[in-house]
């Protein structure tokens, strides 16, 4: 059994917070530049220019690209032959606390959803743990802003509604979100599972790199068809009208009950921040 | 390039009715002067004060409010990252502030029908800044001071001095709506 020191997990998480807030992953940079090339609307191109200029400035000066530095959503894959001294969740939360403090990120978490007092340090993080073979710890941080998260939706369809029902729900969600989700967006779609797991499927879908298709050709084709339809909605960058409403659509599917067809759509704004580390 | 030729209007605050009435949905503007920063909690306090018959910490007549909750300023900086937040959360409060003379609001995203109606009635405009461009927009804020509600932290009422702050008119005082009109030319898929 490998024992991973508490301080190593804290330091890695802190660094992920710093990194994610200021620098986009390479695939999102590429998606923004490609969008600038293929956007037809002059106003849409102006918006994309502004976003590119903003994101370059943020990376160069090491300042947050967006003031909404998000909920710290952490996916932890922990090897079955390893354990974290002092507790994995405790270490991740301490790393978030230090990262948000040291990088002057905004603290956006209230401790209670109705009484709404800010916790002051952006904790607690949302931590999803998977046990995997090996003795390593892989951490993926997805700082999730409120604007796009608020426009995300879930529903329980009837199985008879099938692929058509899923397609309609995805399109309706992007349409209703409009400018509020800060397009161009990445559309994470969860299909199947149960009421509690379908939202997590949709969030996991956001971790896949832009341009990477589902390994199953059936879902890969559905992703491409949905992306085409979403861009046909004409919302465009920031909803002012245009040809690029989404960078990509990612679907994650899971087995489900014979009576059910759960569907969730988790929207990700163009500031699609993801950072990864291995301890 | 076409975009370089797109007309941009330079506006100084405060705004008169004439200035507001000259603006049309889709106009690109660069705003200079004083604007106020406020989001959910500051709006709630302002409207509660007005409901009790009190005067506000600032006179809103002719003024512009920017919906923003910045990141903390690093030492030596005026302000942290400062892009627009979703405007819809202020919909419940905006008609009251517009009735008290507010002339402009800057945010991002859809507004409620009651806000659009209040824009027409009180002669005011709603503008959007680019969401997620917080680092860039912060550069246009030359000075930032908390003027009231300091206990609200990032949700306090701020006074900003801005220089050529970029925004786009989304809803004008004549019923024009960029969100509704702008997409028509690019829409190929219409939902049932």
A-chain CB neighbours of B3 within 8 Å are 42-43, 45-46, 49
A-chain CB neighbours of B72 within 8 Å are 104-106
Mean pLDDT of B157-161: 97
Mean pLDDT of B21-45: 97
Q: How many CB pairs under 8 A join A and B?
A: 176
pLDDT value of position B1: 38
To the nearest whole percent, how much of chain B has pLDDT over 90? 92
pLDDT value of position B192: 77
Residue with tokens 């426009």, as numbered in its chain:
A151
Mean pLDDT of B138-160: 93
* pLDDT higher than threshold 50 for residue B2: no
Mean pLDDT of A111-120: 93
- pTM, entire model: 0.96
User: Helices marked H in A135-237 — which ranges?
Assistant: 146-150, 162-177, 198-205, 217-231
pLDDT value of position B6: 67
B138 touches chain A (CB under 8 A): yes
* Mutation target vs A (from B129, B135, B137; most A CBs, 10 A cutoff): B135
Q: Taking each helix axis from N to C terminus, what angle separates A42-61 and A26-38, rounded to the nearest 10 degrees? A: 150
| Catalytic residue of the set B43, B100, B122, B174 | B43
Cα R_g (chain B), whole angstroms: 16
Given an 8 Å threshold on Cβ–Cβ distance, is B166 in contact with A57? Answer: no
B133 touches chain A (CB under 8 A): yes
Smallest Cα distance from B183 to chain A, Å: 4
- DSSP states along A152-179: -EEEEE-GGGHHHHHHHHHHHHHHHHGG
A168-211 pLDDT per residue, tens: 999 999 999 999 999 999 999 999 999 999 999 999 999 999 99
* pLDDT higher than threshold 70 for residue B3: no
Given an 8 Å threshold on Cβ–Cβ distance, is A233 in contact with B183? Answer: yes
Q: Which of A47, A58, A182 sits opposite B135 (nearest CB)?
A: A58
B4 touches chain A (CB under 8 A): no
A-chain CB neighbours of B183 within 8 Å are 233-236, 239-242
Residue A204's SS3 state is helix
What does the alpha-carbon distance between residue B43 and residue B69 come to, in Å, rounded to a whole number?
12
Q: Which of A58, A107, A171 sits opposite B191 (nearest CB)?
A: A171
In Å, how far are A114, A123, A146, B21, B46 from B90, measured between CA atoms? 18, 26, 15, 23, 12
pLDDT value of position A4: 98
* Mutation target vs A (from B28, B128, B131, B141; most A CBs, 10 A cutoff): B131
Task: Judge contact between A65 and A22, C-beta under 8 A.
Answer: yes
A130-163 pLDDT per residue, tens: 999 999 999 999 999 999 999 999 999 999 999 9
Given an 8 Å threshold on Cβ–Cβ distance, is A232 in contact with B188? Answer: yes
* pLDDT higher than threshold 80 for residue B145: yes
A55-76 pLDDT per residue, tens: 999 999 999 999 999 999 999 9
B51 touches chain A (CB under 8 A): no
Smallest Cα distance from B38 to chain A, Å: 14
The reply to whether B174 belongs to the active site is no
pLDDT value of position B176: 98
Of the candidates A148, A149, A133, the residue with the CA atom closest to the CA atom of residue A181? A148
Mean pLDDT of B42-48: 96
Q: What is the pLDDT confidence band of residue B4, given thresholds at 50, 70 and 90?
A: very low
């Amino acid at each position: 059994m490998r024992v991973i020191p508490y301080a190593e997990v804290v330091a890695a998480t802190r660094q992920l917070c710093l990194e994610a807030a200021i620098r986009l992953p390479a695939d999102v940079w590429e998606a923004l530049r490609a969008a600038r090339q293929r956007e037809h609307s002059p106003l849409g191109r102006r918006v994309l220019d502004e976003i590119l200029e903003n994101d370059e400035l943020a990376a160069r000066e090491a300042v947050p690209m967006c003031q909404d530095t998000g909920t710290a959503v952490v996916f932890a894959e922990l090897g079955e032959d390893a354990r974290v001294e002092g507790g994995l969740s405790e270490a991740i939360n301490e790393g978030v606390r230090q990262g948000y403090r040291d990088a002057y990120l905004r603290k956006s978490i209230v401790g209670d959803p109705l009484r709404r007092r800010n916790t002051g340090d952006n904790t607690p993080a949302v931590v999803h743990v998977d046990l995997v073979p090996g003795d390593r710890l892989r951490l993926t941080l997805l700082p999730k802003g409120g604007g796009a998260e608020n426009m995300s939706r879930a529903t329980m369809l009837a199985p008879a509604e099938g692929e058509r029902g899923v397609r309609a729900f995805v399109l309706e969600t992007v349409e209703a979100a409009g400018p509020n989700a800060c397009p161009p967006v990445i559309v994470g779609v969860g299909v199947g599972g149960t009421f509690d797991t379908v939202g997590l499927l949709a969030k996991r879908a956001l971790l896949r790199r832009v341009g990477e298709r589902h390994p199953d050709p059936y879902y890969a084709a559905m992703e491409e068809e949905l992306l085409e339809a979403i861009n046909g909605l004409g919302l465009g960058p920031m909803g002012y009208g245009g040809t690029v409403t989404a960078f990509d659509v990612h679907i994650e599917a899971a087995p489900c009950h014979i009576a059910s067809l759960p569907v969730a759509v988790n929207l990700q704004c163009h500031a699609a921040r993801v950072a990864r580390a291995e301890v | 390039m076409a975009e370089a030729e797109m007309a941009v209007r330079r506006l100084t605050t405060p705004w008169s009715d004439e200035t507001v009435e000259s603006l049309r949905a889709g106009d690109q503007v660069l705003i200079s002067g004083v604007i106020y920063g406020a989001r959910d909690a500051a709006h709630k306090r302002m409207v509660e004060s007005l409901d009790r018959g009190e005067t506000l910490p600032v006179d809103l007549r002719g003024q512009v409010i920017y919906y923003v909750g910045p990141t903390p300023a690093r030492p030596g900086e005026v302000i942290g990252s400062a892009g627009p937040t979703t405007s819809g959360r202020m919909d419940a409060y905006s008609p009251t502030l517009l009735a008290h003379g507010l002339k402009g609001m800057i945010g991002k995203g859809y507004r409620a029908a009651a806000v659009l109606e209040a824009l027409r009635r009180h002669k005011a405009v709603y503008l959007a800044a680019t969401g997620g461009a917080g680092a860039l927009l912060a550069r246009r804020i030359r000075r930032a001071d908390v003027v009231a509600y300091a206990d609200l932290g990032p949700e306090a009422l701020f006074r900003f001095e801005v220089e050529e702050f970029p925004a786009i008119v989304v809803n004008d005082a004549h019923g024009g709506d960029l969100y509704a009109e702008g997409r028509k030319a690019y829409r190929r898929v219409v939902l049932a």
